[in-house]
Amino acid sequence: MLRKMKVLNYHHLHYFWTVAREGSLSRASAELRLAPSTLSAQIHALEDALERKLFQRKGRRLELTEMGHVVLRYADQIFALGQEMQTALSPRSGNGPLRLTAAIVDILPKLTARLLLEPALGLEEPVKLVVRDGKRSALLAALGRRELDIILTNAPIKGGRGNKLFNHFLGESAVGLYARTDLAIKYRRRFPQSLDGAPIVMPTMIAGLRSALDRWFTDHGIQPKIVGEFDDYTYILLFGQSGAGIFPAPAFASEEIQHRFGVNFIGTTPIVHWRYYAVTAEKAITHAAVRAICDAAQRALGSPTI
């Protein structure tokens, strides 16, 4: 007599999949907005249905059992197929506008991010643009779930376990140095040697740009006075605009930066470049607005077409 198979609860499977990808019950609870106790109960319900243990505790960590790895492989395929279905049905809903959901990493200047995003709004068909903020891990998870169409960033991003991402190089721009008018006039003379001892606002070391700038200063025998370091570029711009010090910004947006923020260009660091990447969940870009962004950026920044 054939044994009657239990119906799989896909909500429970999704909870398991999230915990396995996050590697932590607490992080998965935060992402799913469920209490850890509730999430743990759902995982146990899935284990009861499958009659297999999926996790084992090692100290304070949860590790997948051998059967847990098997279930994870199937879950990856199941949810990847579901995401493909969502992609096929989106980003349009009915006769509404094409929806583009984007995110921007903190170190990328919002002004240049706007310039990169603008071509999406220039399509003949109407586009609804949604820009999300959040922690890097949360944004990557959202991209993996196809809740985001694109992340704009200054460096390639690696996907996590079961979450493959694709980095599309858009191009690069020389880095310019800017400051409030009085500082710009003072430090423009004898540039770049004039920067020795000059106040400067910098990104933190987590940004690849920082190490390149440090090398450039060292190569020119310059020791600037670093008055502030920030993860979020918005603070670099605000403190630079206020006159706290000189600050780096992309040279390709020089005219708009000077006009919009009332600062002046001092000089260029020719061997230091600001790189731009579009990160997507698909290798082939099929979203019309994402394609418009990539094509326009590659034309403006001189990168080969993807």
Token pair recorded at residue 120: 């999406």
Q: What is the pLDDT of residues 138-184, one digit of tens each?
A: 888 888 888 899 999 888 887 665 567 889 999 988 899 999 999 99
Where do the H-state alpha helices sit in the chain?
10-22, 25-32, 36-50, 66-89, 110-121, 136-144, 181-188, 208-219, 233-242, 254-261, 288-301
Q: What Rg, from alpha-carbon coordinates, does the chain have?
A: 24
Between 177 and 274, where is the model more confident? 177
pLDDT value of position 293: 92
Say if CB 227 and CB 245 are below 8 A apart. yes
Q: What is the pTM of this model?
A: 0.63
Delineate the domains of the chain, giving CATH numbers in brackets: 10-89 (1.10.10.10), 98-171+276-301 (3.40.190.10), 173-271 (3.40.190.10)
Say if CB 43 and CB 54 are below 8 A apart. yes
In angstroms, rounded to a whole number, what is the distance separating the alpha carbons of residues 265 and 185?
9
Percent of the chain exceeding pLDDT 70 equals: 90
Beta bridge mates, 264: 179
Q: What is the pLDDT of residues 206-247, one digit of tens each?
A: 667 888 999 999 999 999 999 999 988 889 999 999 999 999
Asked if the model's pLDDT at residue 133 lies above 70, the reply is yes
Average pLDDT, the chain: 85
Between 58 and 15, where is the model more confident? 15
Percent of the chain exceeding pLDDT 90 equals: 35
pLDDT value of position 180: 96
Among candidate residues 151, 150, 143, the one with its CA nearest the CA of residue 286: 150
pLDDT value of position 305: 45
For residue 80, what are the CA distances in angstroms to 54, 72, 84?
20, 12, 6
Residue 52 φ/ψ, nearest 5 degrees: -145, 145
Q: What is the pLDDT of residues 16-73, one digit of tens each?
A: 988 888 888 888 888 888 888 888 899 899 998 888 899 988 877 788 999 988 998 8
Say if CB 221 and CB 196 are below 8 A apart. yes
Asked if the model's pLDDT at residue 90 lies above 60, the reply is no
